[in-house]
Structure 1
Amino acid sequence: MDWFEFPEMEREQLRDLRKGIDEGFRDFTRAYGETIENALYPVEWFLKHFENLLLDTPWIIVLLALSGIVYFASRRPWLTLGTFFGMALIGYFGMWEDAMKTLAMISTATLGSVLLGIPLGIGMAKSDRVQTVMNPILDVMQTMPSFVYLIPVIMLFGIGKLPGIIAVIIYAIPPIIRLTNLGIRLVDKEVLEAADAFGSTSWKRLTNVQIPLALPTIMAGVNQTIMMALAMVVVAALVGAPGLGQPVLKAINNQFLFMGVSAGMAIVILAIIIDRASQAYGQRLQSHREKEH
């Protein structure tokens, strides 16, 4: 017998363990799947209405609004101009509707990740014990193949928008948690001592000192979360998530080269726009804090 082979009894025990886990999770989904889905209804509601807003609004208004948001975030005319022509190019190649669906999904996933990730990051920064527990969990979340997330999500929610957005949030949330924790821990101890000397409560010290000083680092986490969410666009399409992942899958199945390249370039354009705008906003925050000090 080779060293890596199990005896027959142990193989049977392993099979029983696998069967027990699978059946236990199936029983869990039957018992609580509908309850969990109802609890997550606000996420699906926001995604649906934001997507409808982007699709029902005339494309020129959406284009100008996106360009305006990029200019507000970056204050860079060339980046704003590049955003205008990049999004116009997406529309020219017939990918506008799918791009808006992807933008709605990425926005929803990012918002969900921020609302969950920042409090978890603050908890890690406040407690070494919480950090000790969270670090291995985040390591698993970041190293687990993205396709594995789809298995329990499909079993819980089936096929559609909700399982896609949940899988994206799970995959994209670790950076915002880690960098929120890092940013708050890197706040100068002397600044915290000065805040304590002025009688600041723990809450005021967090909201008026730690979070503002950590904001550039937190924004870097938001940037990484957005990029990871975009990286899940095609994978999430496998469970019915709308957007640019759908034409990519269709192109793969039918060997449509132009469709696949067009959808892929649309994803790249969105990624570049969001990455440059969020980075520029983070740099503006950093320079503003340095001027204040």
Structure 2
Amino acid sequence: MSDQLFPKLPLKEWIETFVKFLTDNLGVIFDGISSGIKSVTDGLVWLLSIGDIPGSPYILLAIISLIAWRVAGWKTGLFSLIGLALINNLGYWSETLDTLSLIIISVLFSIIIGVPIGIWMSQKDSVQSIITPILDFMQTMPAFVYLIPSVVFFGIGMVPGVIATIIFSMPPTVRMTNLGIRQVDGELIEAANAFGSTTAQRLGKVQIPLAMPTMMAGVNQTIMLSLSMVVTASLVGAPGLGEIVYRSVTQIKIGLGFEGGLALVIIAMILDRITQGVNKKQA
């Protein structure tokens, strides 16, 4: 005899029916998205490898170190040089390129989708009240759950990892864009309105420039969350440093896991310092 006062909602069956409906009717669209993302990631890996020319790791190493030096100072540039040289020495350069491509694609899509949504939220309280619970859901749902529909819709490999990473890492960009624009001094907005600015002009010339440091802080959080998804994405076949860490866990290889984890830490620190440097220049 059941202890429940009311019949159990068939939520599991509803979700599975809905997913089956999507796969049966929108399979062509999902295949197209998968092919497009895979082409972009493959192209980005080829670009990061400088067309596979001899010595390409050292060229990219020097480029990243130079960018870090120009944006975040000589200490960050030196750390980038030493850290990336160590990764190359350990033999994880190709995995690093895969990881960087996953992060870059995920962050770019998060910005392209998240910034307009954040701007929309900042202009309408009703939109904010609707989207905020959705963002809460996206951030609190365990990351592993995102992998299930991603695999169903997009198969195994880099693509489901990218999709799951975008869903998991986008909320900070949306939230901080909304927050940054809402925190712009009301007197400045009134002055812009007094000069006859349209909504687009006010956003483009006053609110977004002043909100840029806050928006960059959101982008920084998105990058860090993307990095945290690297190992999780490896569970569905996404290549990269996460695959090294995952293999070390399944094979109980402590040394391998330490090397893969160290490489991830180095990448995380470099990206964090670079984005913080950009943020300071914007402030």
TM-score by length of 2: 0.94
Structure 2 residue ranges without an equivalent (≥5): none
Counterparts of 1:266 and 1:65, CA distance in 2? 18
Deviation at 1:17, TM superposition (A): 4.6
Counterparts of 2:256 and 2:24, CA distance in 1? 39
Deviation at 1:234, TM superposition (A): 0.3
Does 2:274 align with 1:277?
yes
Report the 3-state secondary structure (helix = DSSP H, G, I; strand = E; otherwise coil) of the residue aligned with 2:4: coil
Does 2:22 align with 1:25?
no
Does 2:217 align with 1:253?
no
**Does the aligned pair in 2 maintain the 1:26–1:155 contact within 8 Å?**
no
Report the 3-state secondary structure (helix = DSSP H, G, I; strand = E; otherwise coil) of the residue aligned with 2:236: coil
Match for 2:59: what amino acid? I
Deviates more, 1:177-186 or 1:273-282: 273-282
**Does the aligned pair in 1 maintain the 2:231–2:242 contact within 8 Å?**
yes
Does 2:81 align with 1:87?
no
Query: Which residue of structure 1 lines up, in the alignment, with residue 70 of structure 2?
Result: 72
Deviation at 1:204, TM superposition (A): 1.0
Q: 1:235 aligns with which of 232, 237, 242?
A: 232
What count of residue pairs does the alignment treat as equivalent?
279
Deviation at 1:207, TM superposition (A): 0.7
**Does the aligned pair in 2 maintain the 1:223–1:279 contact within 8 Å?**
yes
Does 2:43 align with 1:45?
no
Counterparts of 1:179 and 1:17, CA distance in 2? 33
Does 2:121 align with 1:115?
no
Q: 1:6 aligns with which of 4, 7, 18?
A: 4
Deviation at 1:209, TM superposition (A): 0.9
Deviation at 1:190, TM superposition (A): 0.9
Does 2:150 align with 1:153?
yes
**Does the aligned pair in 2 maintain the 1:33–1:157 contact within 8 Å?**
no
Counterparts of 1:149 and 1:120, CA distance in 2? 21
Counterparts of 2:79 and 2:165, CA distance in 1? 27
Deviates more, 1:44-53 or 1:156-165: 44-53
Percent of residue pairs identical? 43
Q: 1:60 aligns with which of 58, 61, 72?
A: 58
Q: 1:97 aligns with which of 88, 94, 98?
A: 94
**Does the aligned pair in 1 maintain the 2:34–2:154 contact within 8 Å?**
no
Structure 1 residue ranges without an equivalent (≥5): 287-293
Counterparts of 2:206 and 2:194, CA distance in 1? 13
Indicate the RMSD between aligned Cα atoms, in angstroms.
1.6
Counterparts of 2:195 and 2:78, CA distance in 1? 47
Deviation at 1:43, TM superposition (A): 3.0
Deviation at 1:281, TM superposition (A): 1.5
- Per-residue CA deviation, residues 218-275 of structure 1 (Å, 9 max, x unaligned), is 0000000000000000000111111101111111111111111100000001111111
Counterparts of 2:101 and 2:246, CA distance in 1? 19
Q: 1:136 aligns with which of 133, 136, 159?
A: 133
